[in-house]
Structure 1
Amino acid sequence: MGAVADWLGAACLVAGALLSLAAGIGVLRFPDVLDRMHAATKPQVLGVLLLLAGVALRLRTPSDLGMLALVAIFQLATAPVAAQMVGRAAYRSGRVDRALLDTDELADR
């Protein structure tokens, strides 16, 4: 059973690293603030969660699992809020091309 968990942990670590790399490349390559924000939150959070799952499968001690669970909870709690604040600040400062938006819920009526 330990060998299977080690292989699953290694697979999670590689997948998480690749998703985090894709997020970093997306932040550098995407042209717009909203596109960069999307690249900085969605694949990066999934990449971090996969990395945490891989580490948890490798360590398997209760104290380490508790610490990894706290990191995962804080990552899931803070990443969407930070993305919301960055997007709202970019919109209010005029850094968003409003012609590219499908619906503009923040526009003055």
Structure 2
Amino acid sequence: MIEILSGVFLLLGTLFILVSAIGILKMPDLYTRMSATTKASTLGIGLVLIGTTVYWQDIGIAFRAVAIIIFLFLTAPVAAHIIGRAAYFGKVPLWEKTKIDQFKERMEKADK
């Protein structure tokens, strides 16, 4: 039973990581690629670590897995935000079908 539960977590994790990789290939610009990658891969890695913890049932492995998951959930969004902000200020173009640029609107209000 433990092997099945662990396998389900591992399979779901790898599927989310696959979705993340497909997102890198299919999304039209840097900003949407970053969003897909950050969200899907963070969840996928978390599920893989949970599956590993369930399989091995060791407190040391569980502690390390929880520490890694917490670290990922705290750092991945911050890193994506910083990279996206640097790309925006570096004039990396938005997708041509982007209709709303909220950051530009916010910056215009701040300049006034």
Q: State the TM-score, normalized to the length of structure 2.
A: 0.85
Instruction: Give 5+ residue unaligned stretches, structure 2.
Output: none
1:49-95 deviation digits (Å, cap 9, x = unpaired): 11011111101111111111111111111100111011101111111
Runs of 4+ in 1 over 4 A off after TM superposition: none
The RMSD of aligned alpha carbons is 1.7
Residue 30 (str. 1) matches residue 27 (str. 2): yes
Q: For 1:63, which of 60, 65, 79 is the aligned residue?
A: 60
Could you tell me which residue of structure 2 aligns to residue 94 of structure 1? Answer: 91
Q: Secondary structure at the match of 2:108?
A: coil
* Contact 2:28-2:95 at 8 Å conserved across structures: no
Letter in 2 for 1:29: K
TM-score, normalised to structure 1's length?
A: 0.87
CA contact (8 A) 2:29 2:95 kept: no
Percent of aligned pairs with the same residue? 31
Residues 1:10 and 2:2 are matched in the alignment:
no
AA aligned to 2:107 is A
| Alignment-derived partner of residue 104 in structure 1 | 102
